[in-house]
Amino acid sequence: MEIEILKQDKKELDIQLDSLTIAELLRNYLNENGADMAVWKREHPSKPIVLHIEGDNPKSLLKKAITAIEKDLKKYETEFKKEF
């Protein structure tokens, strides 16, 4: 998966993604964990997705969201392995 930074400053970050699933997952975690606002948009289904993040140090917020996602995925993996 390719990610491209389109805009970056102290309060805003725009990144381009090619996965709607990843964009929605990141949006959810960002909004729950400190971002002032995280939204994605896509001009057309054939176009890439742009994730817009607003908050104090949005790049740090993105890193924290990715870390939280990884932690939750490992927890779910462990739980599934116990069951199966």
CB 49 within 8 A of CB 23: yes
For the chain, list the domains and their CATH numbers.
4-83 (3.30.1360.10)
Kindly tell me if the per-residue pLDDT of 77 is higher than 90.
yes
The 10s digit of each residue's pLDDT in 56-70 is 999 999 999 999 999
H-state helical runs in 1-84: 20-32, 58-83
User: Three-state SS for 37?
Assistant: strand
| pTM reported for the whole predicted model | 0.88
Q: Which pLDDT score, from 0 to 100, does residue 52 have?
A: 98
